[in-house]
Chain A
Amino acid sequence: MTGRAAVRHWRAQRVSALALIFLVLWLVVSLLMHLGADRAQVQAWLGAPVSAVLAAALVVVAFFHLGLGIRVVLEDYVHTPWRLAAGLVANRVTCWALALIALAAVATLAFGW
């Protein structure tokens, strides 16, 4: 990755990091407040509008940030071109898939589907 793409990557990593400071602290505090919660209590918590929006934002930003980070690790350590290409695709597909599954779960809880 070179030039403009690298600058975009650098900036995206940092902007998402800033957002994650607040979203991750919200998650930690919320999890601590829901220790030992059963499924109904978790559904009530994540079904509430504010927590559903925050959870959705966390899912999107976290998997975006994770994908950017793993990409750097792959580019640093994988030196065979085809392995690197395969790794980058696998990284992208996995991050997208996990984010979409998590978003669908949050939507299910929020809208009571």
Chain B
Amino acid sequence: MTPAERPLSPHLQIYKPQLTSVLSITHRGTGLALGVGAIFLVWWLSGAAWSDACFRAAQAFWSSWLGKLFLLGWTFSLFFHLLNGVRHLLWDVGFGFDLPTTYRTGWTVVAFSVLLTVLAFGSGLYAGGSP
């Protein structure tokens, strides 16, 4: 069956970006990024369990410049997805779904995601190690 050529409603790029829509797509993006991060964690975990070479390769990756950049991205993704996920759970039980509160909790999520990322990543760099 070929889909009929129906008229389409105005699509995403027509609208001006708003905090609500931007955070919504960021929730998706960070979720997908964490999925990729999970693959790397399984690689590292497998190394710890079965293979010295595999474990050392994973450690070398985290210690590298590129690895640290990925870690920074995953740290932010994790805190954002976690905090915005709690925001979603609160909506689900009926809290904060009016527009002013939605904006307030949205900016709170952004601020605390950045703060926690700086704290966690900074303390990691300060300790000078690689997880």
Q: A-side interface residues toward B, CB under 8 Å?
A: 14, 17-18, 20-21, 24-25, 28, 31-32, 34-37, 39, 42-43, 46, 62-63, 66, 69-70, 73, 79, 98, 101-102, 104-106, 108-109
Contact = CB atoms under 8 A, between A and B. Distances in A.
A14 B48 contact: no
A54 B92 CA distance: 27
B127 A36 contact: yes
B27 to A, nearest CB: 9
A46 B48 contact: yes
Contacts of A17: 85, 88-89
Interface string B1-19: 0010000000000000000
Interface of B: 3, 28, 31-32, 34-35, 38-39, 41-42, 45-50, 52, 55-56, 78, 82, 85-86, 88-89, 92, 120, 123-124, 127-131
Contacts of B78: 24, 28
B48 A31 contact: no
16 contacts: A17-B88, A21-B82, A28-B78, A32-B124, A36-B127, A36-B129, A37-B131, A39-B47, A39-B48, A46-B45, A70-B32, A98-B39, A101-B42, A102-B41, A105-B45, A105-B49
A104 B45 CA distance: 10
B49 A108 contact: yes
B120 A32 contact: yes
A105 B44 CA distance: 10
B120 A105 contact: no
Given A14-B92, A24-B82, A69-B31, A36 B45 contact: no
B73 to A, nearest CB: 15
Given A14-B92, A21-B82, A109-B49, A35 B39 contact: no
A98 B37 CA distance: 12
A32 B131 contact: yes
A73 B56 CA distance: 34
A31 B38 contact: no
A75 to B, nearest CB: 13
A36 B130 contact: yes
Contacts of B56: 39
A43 B50 CA distance: 10
A50 to B, nearest CB: 17
